[in-house]
């Protein structure tokens, strides 16, 4: 675009000022990238297509209470249910508390409920048939350099064993992979055989933590959920069945209104950013009133000058903002490598970019509007006379 060189030239007029403003904008969007990702994590950005077919059944009172295993076949008999599986949160520690990763005791067919997780048929078979068998996600296995066949000791924190020991030794028989980069964080987990768990634990035997139900048709999900809950109505183990997504949202909402907190912080950040860049633009335009007048004498219309100034503001925001979001991606990567915290993807997410670019353009227009308006209104004659 031939006018682009004009806009760029304007930004280069005062290089230090442009650089400082760019860095401020970058800082603001760095925060946006990270916080938006955190907000996404808490609003269950992880809902998937396959997840639409999954229901989670937990105790109505609290997911920390267990349910009897006898429910398994009764749930399977409910019309519309394709398959049922179950799991218990184990919460074991591998070597050091700092190495925390989710680990659960699950039924043999557990991974079948997650078709988007890739595990070879041989490894599935091995898991079903090995009493002390365990499968881990590729991310986790790579982090600890585990290979198939390795023995992995976990220290129990919740469930002591009948024989008094606290160490549960597992055999790694499978490593699963997830293709979707948005879901990659789920590779950070380990699952082992529920039968081993139930036999060895000192109490709570015969009870499961929760059921995962695969429905044949997602359209019937609500009806199936109600039918499942009806099985345990008025018993001492009342259940609550909801879609996987709804369950995640309900869990996350217990942490607090993360969306509100993130929103409030970003509002404060963008407010100060608008003030800062607004001031910069105002300064820049004030200095160039005579030059803008010259452009008008050459024949640039008022609206062209307005457009140039708006373009300048938006370009400033775009340049700084894109850098900020890219750096956010780098920081998120760093967090994953150093502390194992996996956030929803930033740089590879179209939604994040759309939101970010939208904000950059809107803020650019807000910031450029006032000084651009002044540019629109300036009377060439007055400007050249120095008034």
Partner 1 sequence: MNSLVQTENLSKTYTRGTQHVEVLHSINLAIEEGDFVALMGPSGSGKTTLLNLIGGLDAPTGGSISVGGERIDQYSENALAKWRSGHVGFVFQFYNLLSTLSARKNVELPLLLTRLTGAERRERADIALQLVGLAERAVHKPAELSGGQQQRVAIARAIVSDPTLLVCDEPTGDLDRQSAAEVLTLLQQLNRDHGKTIIMVTHDPKAAEFAHRILNLDKGTLVDVAERPAA
Partner 2 sequence: MASGRGNRWRRLLGWLGVWALVFCGLLVLAMLPGWSLPVLLLPLALWLLLTRTGRQAWSATQVGIATIPQRLGSSSVVVVGIAGVVGVLVALLAMAAGFAATLKQGGNDETAIVLRAGAQTELNSVISSETVTLVSQQPQVQRGRDGLPIASGELVVVAALPKRTTGLDANVEVRGVSERAWELRPGIRMITGRRFTPGLRELIVGKRAREQFSGVDVGSTLKLNGQPWQVVGEFEANDANDSDLWADFGVVGPTYRRGNSATSVTVKLTDAHAFETYAAALAADPRLKVDVRTTRAYYTEQSASLTRLITALGNAIGVIMAIGAVFGALNSMYAAVATRTREIATLRALGFRSTPVVVSVMLETMLLALLGGMLGAAVAWLLFDQYTASTLGANFTQIVFAFRVTPELLWRGLKWALAMGLIGGLFPALRAARMSVTDGLREL
Considering only residues 281 through 310, tell me which ones interact with partner 2, judged by CB under 8 A.
282-283
The structure tokens 């028989």 sit at 173
**Does residue 10 bind partner 1 (CB under 8 A)?**
yes
**Does residue 158 bind partner 2 (CB under 8 A)?**
yes
Q: Which is nearer to partner 1, 8 or 77 (CB)?
A: 8
Residue among 5, 12, 62, 303 that touches partner 2 (CB under 8 A): 62
Region near partner 2 per CB under 8 A, out of 40-48, 214-222, 252-260, 353-361: 252-260
Q: How far is the CB of 273 from partner 1 (least distance, A)?
A: 25
Q: How far is the CB of 371 from partner 1 (least distance, A)?
A: 17
Report the phi/psi class of residue 254: left, alpha or beta, with left for phi > 0 and alpha for psi in -120 to 50: alpha
CA-to-CA distance for 374 and 352, rounded, in angstroms?
A: 34
Q: To the nearest 10°, report the CA torsion of 119, 120, 125, 130.
A: -60
CA-to-CA distance for 155 and 144, rounded, in angstroms?
A: 16
Candidates 237, 304, 264; CA nearest to 7 is 304
The structure tokens 């993360």 sit at 258
CA-to-CA distance for 297 and 299, rounded, in angstroms?
A: 5
Q: How far is the CB of 381 from partner 1 (least distance, A)?
A: 5
Number of residues located near partner 2, criterion CB under 8 A: 46
Q: Which residues contact 273 (CB under 8 A, 6 or more apart)?
A: 24, 25, 28, 363
Q: How far is the CB of 261 from partner 2 (least distance, A)?
A: 8
Cα separation values, 52 from 108, 110, 218, Å: 22, 17, 6
**Does residue 268 bind partner 2 (CB under 8 A)?**
yes
CA-to-CA distance for 157 and 148, rounded, in angstroms?
A: 25
**Does residue 250 bind partner 2 (CB under 8 A)?**
yes
Q: Which is nearer to partner 1, 360 or 378 (CB)?
A: 378
Tokens of 5: 């060189």
Number of residues located near partner 1, criterion CB under 8 A: 25
Q: How far is the CB of 256 from partner 2 (least distance, A)?
A: 5
Q: How far is the CB of 10 from partner 1 (least distance, A)?
A: 7
**Does residue 380 bind partner 1 (CB under 8 A)?**
yes
Q: Are the C-beta atoms of 191 and 111 separated by less than 8 Å?
A: yes
Q: How far is the CB of 353 from partner 2 (least distance, A)?
A: 20
Tokens of 226: 């109600």
Region near partner 2 per CB under 8 A, out of 72-80, 110-118, 125-133, 154-162: 154-162
- Chosen from partner 2, partner 1, none, partner binding at 272 (C-beta under 5 to 8 Å by type): partner 2
CA-to-CA distance for 61 and 64, rounded, in angstroms?
A: 8
**Does residue 213 bind partner 1 (CB under 8 A)?**
no
Considering only residues 132 through 151, tell me which ones interact with partner 1, judged by CB under 8 A.
none
Cα separation values, 243 from 46, 69, 140, 148, 357, Å: 13, 20, 27, 33, 33
Considering only residues 258 through 317, tell me which ones interact with partner 1, judged by CB under 8 A.
290-291, 293-303
**Does residue 28 bind partner 2 (CB under 8 A)?**
yes
Q: How many helices (H) and strands (E) does the chain have?
A: 13, 12
Site residues, partner 1 (CB under 8 A): 2-3, 5-6, 9-10, 12-13, 290-291, 293-303, 380-381, 384-385
């Amino acid at each position: 675009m031939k006018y682009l060189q004009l806009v760029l030239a304007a930004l280069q007029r005062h290089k230090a000022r442009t650089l400082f403003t760019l860095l401020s904008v970058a800082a603001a969007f760095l925060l946006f990238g990270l916080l938006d990702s955190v907000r996404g994590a808490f609003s269950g950005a992880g809902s998937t297509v396959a997840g639409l077919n999954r229901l989670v059944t937990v105790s109505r009172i609290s997911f920390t209470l267990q349910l009897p295993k006898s429910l398994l076949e009764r749930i399977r008999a409910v019309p519309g249910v394709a398959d049922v599986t179950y799991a218990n949160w184990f919460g074991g520690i591998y070597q050091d508390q700092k190495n925390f990763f989710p680990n659960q005791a699950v039924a043999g067919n557990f991974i079948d409920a997650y078709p988007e997780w890739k595990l070879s048929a041989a490894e599935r078979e091995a898991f079903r048939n090995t009493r002390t068998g365990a499968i881990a996600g590729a991310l986790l296995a790579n982090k600890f350099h585990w290979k198939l066949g390795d023995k992995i000791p976990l220290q129990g924190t919740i469930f002591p064993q009948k024989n008094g020991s606290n160490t549960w030794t597992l055999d790694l028989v499978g490593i699963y992979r997830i293709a979707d980069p948005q879901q990659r964080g789920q590779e950070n987990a380990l699952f082992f055989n529920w039968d081993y768990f139930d036999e060895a634990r000192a109490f709570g035997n015969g009870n499961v933590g929760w059921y995962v139900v695969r429905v044949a048709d997602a359209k019937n999900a609500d009806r199936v959920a109600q039918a499942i809950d009806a099985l345990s109505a008025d018993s001492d183990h009342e259940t609550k069945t909801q879609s996987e997504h709804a369950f995640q949202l309900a869990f996350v909402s217990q942490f607090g209104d993360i969306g509100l907190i993130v929103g409030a912080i970003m509002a404060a950040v963008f407010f100060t950013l608008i003030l800062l860049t607004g001031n910069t633009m105002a300064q820049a335009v004030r200095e160039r009133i005579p030059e803008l007048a010259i452009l008008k004498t050459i024949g640039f219309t008022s609206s062209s000058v307005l457009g140039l100034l708006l373009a300048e503001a938006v370009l400033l925001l775009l340049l700084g903002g894109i850098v900020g979001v890219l750096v956010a991606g780098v920081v998120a990567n760093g967090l994953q490598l150093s502390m194992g915290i996996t956030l929803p993807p930033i740089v590879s997410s179209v939604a994040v970019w759309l939101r970010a670019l939208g904000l950059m353009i809107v803020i650019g227009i807000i910031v450029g509007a006032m000084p651009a308006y002044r540019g629109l209104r300036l009377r060439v004659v007055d400007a050249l006379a120095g008034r």
